[in-house]
Amino acid sequence: MATADPEKPGRIKQLRMIAQIIKQANPKGLPIVFLSAVATLAVAVVIGVVIDQLIYSIILGIMLAFTVGLVVFGQLAQRAQYSILHGQTGAAAAVLQGMRGNWQVTPAIAVNRDQDLIHLVVGAPGVVLVSEGPGNRVAKMLAAEKKRVARVVLGVEIYDIQCGDGEGQVPLGKLQRHIMKLPRNLKKPAANEVKDRLRSLPKNMPMPKGPMPKGARVPRGPKTR
């Protein structure tokens, strides 16, 4: 019989931890969750009075209020977690590793003296190179890595994305969604073949100074179709 991992927090403890993160990032967050649920229930009660189905509306309203509260709670948790990661070395890698589906993420395949990073992602779109750092510094890095990767994956589409807050860059909180919207150029077997080819691609630099984000509970994006 399987035993629970004593180091893994239970569901209630996890919710409490996430609630603390929300409270820290946005003191109004938890009241917003509560008010959204109460407002949903209130609307259901009003509708029940109007249509003379109060009991049925209250039961339905409680279920809807719980659902709405969870949705709002999840959205606020996602924003809070992104705000905690923002500015950390390797934040983009933590977000990329939270994507659902047939993705392979290799963090920090390139780094420069300013600790700008390039991460490698392989999935249905093909190969995606994601940078962290100012645009004027990472543009040449991305171009160099694109040429290096292209030698290994001939004929496969390669995308380059700059993650950051500068002009033309993709903000950290929108990175998952941006990648999920890329065209689906490869079926799963072909994507797996590309992953196998890229496993032989060596890192051309030392690991960045300072710790990469570890254990960050980044919300997972939607599953790949």
pLDDT in tens, 187-198: 888 888 888 888
Task: Pick from 156-160, 188-192, 212-216, 220-224 the range whose average pLDDT is largest.
Answer: 156-160
Average pLDDT of the segment spanning 94-108: 87
Predicted local confidence at residue 203, as pLDDT: 62
Whether the predicted pLDDT of 125 surpasses 50 = yes
For residue 87, the tally of other CB atoms under 10 A from its CB is: 9
- Hey, is 105 helix, strand or coil? strand
Would you call 82 helix, strand, or coil by DSSP? helix
Residue with tokens 């941006």: 178
pLDDT at 39 over 90: yes
pLDDT band at 204 (very low <50, low <70, confident <90, very high): low
Give the residue carrying structure tokens 């590793």: 97
Task: Give the per-residue pLDDT at 213.
Answer: 55
Q: What is the mean pLDDT of the chain?
A: 82
Report the distance separating Cα 89 and Cα 210, nearest Å: 8
Strand order in the sheet with 126-132: 104-111, 117-123, 126-132, 158-163
pTM beyond 0.85: the answer is no
Residue 47 CA to residue 66 CA, distance in Å, equals: 18
- Taken in order 94, 25, 23, 223, the sign of the CA dihedral is negative
Residues 6+ apart with CB under 8 A from 215: none
Pinpoint the alpha helices (H) of the chain.
11-25, 29-50, 54-85, 91-96, 135-150, 175-180, 188-198
Amino acid in the structure at residue 141: M
